[in-house]
Chain A
Amino acid sequence: MHKRTFVRTLAQAGAAAAALCAGGIAFAQGTPFKIGLILPMTGQQATTGRQIEAAAKLWMAQNGDTVAGRKVELIIKDDTTLPDVTRRLAQELVVNEKVDVLAGMGITPSALAAGPIATQSKTPLVVMAAATSIITEASPYIVRTSFTLPQVSVSIADWAPKNGIKSVVTLVSDYGPGIDAEKYFSERLILDGGKVLDKLRVPLRNPDFAPFLQKVRDLKPDALFVFVPSGAGAAVMKQFGERGMDKAGIRLIGTGDVTDDDQLNDMGDVALGVVTSHHYSAAHPSAANKKFVEAFQKANKNMRPNFMAVGGYDGMRVIYEALKKTGGKGGGDALLAGMKGQIFESPRGPVYIDAQTRDIVQNVYLRKVERKDGQLWNVEFDVIKDVKDPGKSK
């Protein structure tokens, strides 16, 4: 070999070796801690993705991106609200980017699809939005910071008979969370002495609620219980008013998804007086929440945070705390152990991650829509403390 080529090759090898050493030192000190956040940024549940992304970024802005000496990297991917894309993204994040934690999960099928990936790769999966009970059973690595429909449905079923509502018609969207809501609400209502006149299910892609609402009108119940996914509440509200249901003496009750903070202010007077039960209201009167809402609105062009955002915000906290508990070392099983049993004050109120079920235990509030300072808010007037997911407490 020519001398010049030899020297050049040697120099290159030396440089490579030096880089490796430096890299090795850097590695030992802290490869970034990667969080793979898979959200529906486009498609049917795009608003969910928007809210959670904003909340996650807010958390990192407020709490910095270094935890226990390690830099935290947030990788956001769009699953277009399709479960097979969620699954592929989860696989790629785990195999290619070697993320330490998976998070997000905008809808139930997405969470269920990503579950096996979490189990196989021993990566904790923090569910920040999806709300069907069975999700936490899909993988021992799933931890939930959002809520479950049974949790919030039974609360209003308890409230209704004590407030003059004896007969109810249920109207839910025909998918996992909707069916959960219908089941738990009806069972609890009947247990409390009420009657369910009919159970209507609306297809998820429905252009017009009119025929269903007309049917409710003809049945003349004391109240209509509604569950529709976050974002569709406005249409129900409008049609409800248009059909003259409130004037016919039918009250509207439901889970808080129907008076979603994201849309509530634009719904107009027809939403006034609607009573719902939910785990989070942007009007929750705690100092932590006031700070959260203010910071969120400032960072996001006055967009109001809703329960999806709070799920994302708390999910980030759970991840950060778990990482701190492992002293920055991470590791799937250690992180999972660090997540279980966390108790903390969230903007929604006190929250506890059950160590057995890995599901969230939280307060459920009863709220009424009222006008304050010219805007519509869900004002809390009662609370049921520390509600565990009834879907599991068997």
Chain B
Amino acid sequence: MLTILFDGIAYGMLLFILAVGLAVTMGLMNFINLAHGAFAMVGGYITVLLMQRAGVPFIVCLPIAFVGTALLGAIAERTLYRPLYRRPHLDQVLFSIGLVLMSVAAVDYFVGSTQQILQLPDWLKGRTEIGEGAWTLGMGHYRLFIIAVCALVTVLLQWVLSRTRFGSRLRASVDDQRVAAGMGINVNVVFLSTFAVGSGLAGLGGALGSEVLGLDPTFPLKYMIYFLIVVAVGGTSSITGPLLAALLLGIADVAGKYYIPKMGAFIVYTLMIAILLWRPQGLFVRQGGKA
């Protein structure tokens, strides 16, 4: 049972890293970016290709995936996304789905549609078991690694948000963009850097997740739903919201599939609908926050 809890936490943390960028950009720029999954996929492919073709060690690939995807995000924001901020949501949806289709086909063309298989370094392949019988805690080393990295990133994000000047500028822009601009905050720069970091995190998540979730060109289409669930339940006005939402969903999904395999897939959707019906603004939204 503890193992299942552990697995659920690992899955949840992974979902969080993947979805936090989406939550922040939606809250900040009010832009529904369904192409977020494509950035995750890019990060995954950067890692896989570097490892397979250039023999770069896994641990080095992770920061490269982050930086590479962040750069891609920055370029995309400046050229493609910026003109569309004022457009109605439906246009943004159309646009981002178009981007996803293009990226899926492009990756298929250049790399092929087979599942990419990652070879983890040996020190990540093991497994530790503590305890006996029903209280056994079996921890795969890779999942421990995921939890560690994601926890580190979360702490870092929270620190940046609450302790740095950039963080306070970001929070101001999320709360009320017009007033923030009026106070002299360079909203464009805030947007650009936030989008870049958000995409970079998605790339990192994609790199970490390739081992667990699989990596093929249809990755964005398959997993976009889960990111959206995390953002909808967690709300877009903080990062603790999506964190808790992701953990909740990760544990519910894994535990559900283990204990009630027949209802496995239902659990996540039913839980989400129940939560959204009870609290339509998301589970963890501050009172008075923007809808």
Direct A/B contact, Cβ within 8 angstroms = yes
Q: Which residues of A contact B63 (CB under 8 A)?
A: none
Q: Give the number of residue pairs across the A-B interface with Cβ within 8 Å.
A: 83
**A206 to B265 alpha-carbon distance, docked (Å):** 8
- The answer to whether B117 and A268 have CB atoms under 8 Å apart is yes
Contact for B117 among A43, A46, A266, CB less than 8 A: A266
Contact for B254 among A211, A242, A247, CB less than 8 A: A211
Q: Which of B70-78, B169-177, B209-217, B279-287 contacts A (4 or more CB under 8 A)?
A: B209-217
Residue of A whose beta carbon sits closest to that of B117: A266
**A17 to B176 alpha-carbon distance, docked (Å):** 77
Contact for B119 among A43, A262, A268, CB less than 8 A: A268
Q: Which of A231-239, A313-321, A355-363 contacts B (4 or more CB under 8 A)?
A: A231-239
Give 1 or 0 for each of A268-280: 1 = CB within 8 Å of chain B CB: 1000000000000
Give 1 or 0 for each of A204-226: 1 = CB within 8 Å of chain B CB: 01111011101101000000000
Q: Does A183 contact B (CB under 8 A)?
A: no
Q: How many residues of A contact B (CB 8 A)?
A: 34
A37 CB → nearest B CB, Å: 18
Q: Which residues of A contact B3 (CB under 8 A)?
A: 214
Q: Does A31 contact B (CB under 8 A)?
A: no
Interface centre among A205, A234, A247 (most CB of B within 10 A): A234
Known contacts A212-B261, A235-B214, A266-B117; A242/B127 CB under 8 A: yes
B64 CB → nearest A CB, Å: 21
Chain A positions near chain B (C-beta within 8 angstroms): 42-44, 46-47, 50, 200-201, 203, 205-208, 210-212, 214-215, 217, 231-232, 234-235, 238, 241-244, 247, 262-263, 266-268
Given pairs A207-B222, A238-B211, A243-B140, 20 additional interface contacts (CB within 8 A): A42-B108, A47-B114, A201-B261, A205-B222, A205-B265, A207-B226, A210-B11, A211-B4, A211-B7, A211-B261, A214-B4, A214-B138, A231-B115, A232-B115, A242-B125, A242-B142, A243-B138, A244-B127, A263-B114, A268-B117
25 chain-A/chain-B pairs, Cβ below 8 angstroms: A43-B218, A50-B113, A200-B261, A201-B261, A205-B222, A206-B265, A207-B213, A208-B212, A208-B257, A210-B212, A211-B264, A212-B258, A214-B3, A214-B4, A214-B7, A214-B258, A215-B258, A215-B261, A217-B138, A242-B142, A243-B127, A244-B129, A247-B127, A263-B115, A268-B117
Chain B positions near chain A (C-beta within 8 angstroms): 3-4, 7, 11, 108, 112-117, 119, 125, 127, 129, 138, 140, 142, 211-214, 218, 222-223, 226, 253-255, 257-258, 261, 264-265
